[in-house]
Structure 1
Amino acid sequence: VALSSCEAEYIAGSYAACQAVWLDSVLKELKLDVEKPIKLQIDNQSAINLARNPVLHGRSKHIEARFHFLREQVNQGSLDVVHCATGSQVADILTKSLKTDRFLNLRRALGVFQFRS
């Protein structure tokens, strides 16, 4: 159970980092270049600071070591964590009830359109 939104975002970022590194290795096998560092968007500034700072904070020492994969990848230069404003999260269309205008904007951002015959 996550004790804070920072911890929850950091853990989610660590899982995303694992997927990004795996996808990078698959693309390398296919002889496709990936721009480095891979940008990982996180909407929590505290989680971003935790990933960028190699010093273990008192607030983060309870986080299991396996979740520090994100920090390791950032320190190696493989990944860069950048802030993603909450209002820019396209995934909200799948997880939240939205007002019509916001729904239409996010749907457009996904490249989905209404098909009429």
Structure 2
Amino acid sequence: MVGCLMYLLATRPDLAFSVCLVARYMERPTEIHMAAVKRILRYLKGTTSYGLWYERGKGDELVGWSDSDYAGDIDDRRSTSGYVFMIGTKAVSWSSKKQPIVTLSTTEAEFIAAAGSACQGVWLSRILTAIDARKGNCITIYCDNSSSIKLSKNLVMHGRSKHIDVRFHFLRDLTKEGIIQLVHCSSFEQVADIMTKPLSFDSFSRNRDKMGLCTLELIN
């Protein structure tokens, strides 16, 4: 069942967090994991008409959102990174993934999530440049953690960042060169929140609409 649900992630970003969460337990699933999969299937049955509808002339600017929870996995206390990239009003790339290391603060968790988002943003920008031969503009990535934004701009090592693995500090070089721009946004406006943690129905529906998911009835 999880394998079938994985195919839907290509067009249903609202399922990314829940499906990736249950996929972690496919080796030794229990009854609670079976119940979680059935809950996803019930949600899917009630939203079969939802999907992404891309329209021409609805903007061509690449914008991203990056977010992370903190020690959300109760088994190994690793955090979950999530990002959403949109062109115009529709999501074109998204991810929900457990981080490779255990973080010691929310700042470190958000910084690692932003570094992963920057990788995807640079790749998408190069694809867009190759398609229409335009110059790559600075990629704006919205983050709701002020400390991680300051850390990406501050080249001085201090107690909060000296333990962070070197491979994540390339984000500083991208920020310094003007390739990536981290901009602060409120948690209420954070679209990638849907990729990192369970949300209330109102918050889930709001972020789902912001990503551009709509029903066939609205299109017709």
**With structure 1 as the length reference, what TM-score do the two structures score?**
0.82
Q: Where does structure 2 lack aligned partners over 5 or more consecutive residues?
A: 1-101
Q: Which of 163, 167, 172 does residue 71 from structure 1 map onto?
A: 172
Q: Deviations over 1:63-89 (max 9, x none)?
A: 111100111100111111101211112
Deviation at 1:32, TM superposition (A): 4.3
2:209 & 2:123 partners in 1: Cα distance?
29
2:119 & 2:193 partners in 1: Cα distance?
22
In structure 1, give the amino acid aligned to 2:175: V
| Higher percent of residues as helix | 1
- 1:96 paired with 2:189, answer no
In structure 1, give the amino acid aligned to 2:172: R
1:40 & 1:73 partners in 2: Cα distance?
12
- 1:19 paired with 2:150, answer no
In structure 1, give the amino acid aligned to 2:193: D
What is the aligned-residue identity percentage? 42
Number of residue pairs the alignment of both structures matches: 116
Q: Deviations over 1:7-45 (max 9, x none)?
A: 000011111111111222222222343662211111110
- 1:41 paired with 2:142, answer yes
1:91 & 1:41 partners in 2: Cα distance?
9
| Higher percent of residues as strand | 2
In structure 1, give the amino acid aligned to 2:107: C
Q: Which of 183, 187, 197 does residue 82 from structure 1 map onto?
A: 183
Kept in 2: contact 1:18–1:69 (CA 8 A): no
RMSD of aligned alpha carbons: 2.3
1:105 & 1:66 partners in 2: Cα distance?
34
Query: Taking structure 1 as reference, are residues 50 and 107 closer, same or farther at Cα in structure 2, changes over 3 Å only?
Result: same
In structure 2, give the amino acid aligned to 1:106: N
**With structure 2 as the length reference, what TM-score do the two structures score?**
0.47
- 1:53 paired with 2:144, answer no
Larger RCO of the pair (alpha carbons < 8 Å, separation 6+): 1
In structure 2, give the amino acid aligned to 1:15: G
Query: Taking structure 1 as reference, are residues 59 and 110 closer, same or farther at Cα in structure 2, changes over 3 Å only?
Result: closer
2:135 & 2:191 partners in 1: Cα distance?
22
In structure 2, give the amino acid aligned to 1:98: S
Query: Taking structure 1 as reference, are residues 113 and 66 closer, same or farther at Cα in structure 2, changes over 3 Å only?
Result: same
Kept in 2: contact 1:42–1:84 (CA 8 A): yes
Q: Where does structure 1 lack aligned partners over 5 or more consecutive residues?
A: none
User: Which residue in the other structure is 1:106 paired with?
Assistant: 207
